Amino acid sequence: MSCETASRNATAPEPGIAPGAQTLDVRAIARAIGRHGRHPALPATIPGFDAPFFQAGLAGYSDAAMRLIARRHGCPLCVTEALLDRTLLSGGRGFAKADLGELHDNVPGGEDDHPLVGQLMGSDPGEMAAAAVKMVEQGARAAREYRELAGGGAIGNGQLAIGRDAPEASLPSHSDPIANCQLPIATFQAIDINLACPVKKIAKKARGGHWLAEPQGAIAILKAVRDALPERVPCTLKIRRSYDDTPEMARNFMRIFDAAYDLGYAWATVHARTVQQKYVGPSRWDLLRDIVQQRPGRVVFGSGDIWQVQDIFRMIGYTGVAGVSVARGCIGNPWIFRQARDMMAGEDPRPPTIAEQRQVLEDHFALALRVNATMRDPEHVTGKTMRKFAIRFAQHHPAGEEVRKRFIGVKGLEEWRGVLGEWYEQ
């Protein structure tokens, strides 16, 4: 369930609030970025991060299959969905599926699933720090040891240099990107702390976006994680622009935001909706622009209402962010990344042909089957997951509504192929 809420799709695609943005010449902005390059901090922080956009963490969607498809279409960086620190520390056992983040969806998808940022969320600084170390080390130590580190209060106070002295996780070579994904294949390239998820508190403990109402606790988490990780592992932050629209909460945001950079976080991705808004209503690009202007020199990414490729460059041009997090706009639309690269090359963004759509539908299903291979009924699980994507994929088809209806009934691979044969023949 993670950061999903019942209202996650309540916002019909509409632009963020950005007076004057519609008149910007997005083609010129894209071309200028293509010619002069993206912000130097991007590849300097994460080698390979060579374009000013990435695929956001999207609980329930952004597993290795979706990430690999995005990368094949030019996405330079992906973030996993938010994983609850305790889920990671417990190895996934003892936590209901409905709780936050599943280990399964956060497992790297092999050599091609890089660079990858692992996202964590939680309520306790010690547990968050231990979980971050475990994530970076890919569980190189015994599970019990990480739990002891989390409970022992030794993290970040210099008593135990966890992470710093730990050996790099060994990198076995794998030819198959997904089949071996339960094994430690490679470490994550950065750790992202989620202070944005609007899902309610549990047992009166804050987590995700609810930390915006408790800035001291939020900063304690940011500090514990940064202190626990070796310097070579960048830390980043995902945060909402505020908890709500009161001046007090806006001040809280600034306090946490500033603290993150002071602590050495490489950048923050600011979702320009409040926590209270969840996913409903427009995001406030105007306020995002204010934040960027108030803190020149800071590397800031923007999130909210990126529905089509032009929005990426419109947000950069309007707000001055260094880059953009693409979220709902890339569900069933990996071509948004190819189109962004088209525009940076000064070309028109190419819509996907029917043949390209079919190829992606086949590849995504095949990858998802392999991601789900260890489940009891992989085909059933995959059919269910892929239905969510198919509804979005169908939007590219000239007979979108009919195709969508056909996909809704799909339960397994045979039926999936049936729809492809019926609607996606040349």
Ligand X SMILES: Cc1cc2nc3c(=O)[nH]c(=O)nc-3n(C[C@H](O)[C@H](O)[C@H](O)COP(=O)(O)O)c2cc1C
- Interacting residues toward ligand X by CB under 6 A: 2-4, 8, 56-60, 81-82, 119, 194, 196, 238, 271, 279, 283, 303-306, 325, 327-329
Q: Of 60 and 184, which CB lies nearer to ligand X in the complex structure?
A: 60
Q: Of 59 and 178, which CB lies nearer to ligand X in the complex structure?
A: 59
For the bound state, the minimum distance from the C-beta of residue 274 to ligand X, rounded and expressed in Å, comes to 12
Q: Of 8 and 72, which CB lies nearer to ligand X in the complex structure?
A: 8
- Cα(53)–Cα(76) distance, rounded to whole angstroms? 7
Q: Of 66 and 220, which CB lies nearer to ligand X in the complex structure?
A: 66
For the bound state, the minimum distance from the C-beta of residue 278 to ligand X, rounded and expressed in Å, comes to 9
Cβ neighbors of 130 (< 8 A, separation 6 or more) are: 85, 89, 146, 147, 149, 150, 155, 162, 228
For the bound state, the minimum distance from the C-beta of residue 384 to ligand X, rounded and expressed in Å, comes to 15
For the bound state, the minimum distance from the C-beta of residue 324 to ligand X, rounded and expressed in Å, comes to 9
For the bound state, the minimum distance from the C-beta of residue 179 to ligand X, rounded and expressed in Å, comes to 25
Q: Of 42 and 154, which CB lies nearer to ligand X in the complex structure?
A: 42
Cβ neighbors of 21 (< 8 A, separation 6 or more) are: 15, 285, 314, 317, 318
Tell how strand 190-195 and strand 83-84 pair up: unpaired
247: preceding bond cis by omega (within 30 degrees): no
For the bound state, the minimum distance from the C-beta of residue 71 to ligand X, rounded and expressed in Å, comes to 17
Q: Of 39 and 238, which CB lies nearer to ligand X in the complex structure?
A: 238
Contact 126, 151 (CB under 8 A): yes
For the bound state, the minimum distance from the C-beta of residue 3 to ligand X, rounded and expressed in Å, comes to 3
Write out the two tokens for 426.
Answer: 């040349």
Q: Of 4 and 127, which CB lies nearer to ligand X in the complex structure?
A: 4
In the block, residue with structure tokens 């960086």: 77
Phi, psi torsion values for 419, nearest 5 degrees: -65, -40
Q: Of 74 and 156, which CB lies nearer to ligand X in the complex structure?
A: 74
For the bound state, the minimum distance from the C-beta of residue 292 to ligand X, rounded and expressed in Å, comes to 17
For the bound state, the minimum distance from the C-beta of residue 258 to ligand X, rounded and expressed in Å, comes to 20
Q: Of 145 and 286, which CB lies nearer to ligand X in the complex structure?
A: 286
For the bound state, the minimum distance from the C-beta of residue 318 to ligand X, rounded and expressed in Å, comes to 15
- Cα(223)–Cα(217) distance, rounded to whole angstroms? 10
For the bound state, the minimum distance from the C-beta of residue 366 to ligand X, rounded and expressed in Å, comes to 23
Q: Of 2 and 310, which CB lies nearer to ligand X in the complex structure?
A: 2
Q: Of 60 and 264, which CB lies nearer to ligand X in the complex structure?
A: 60
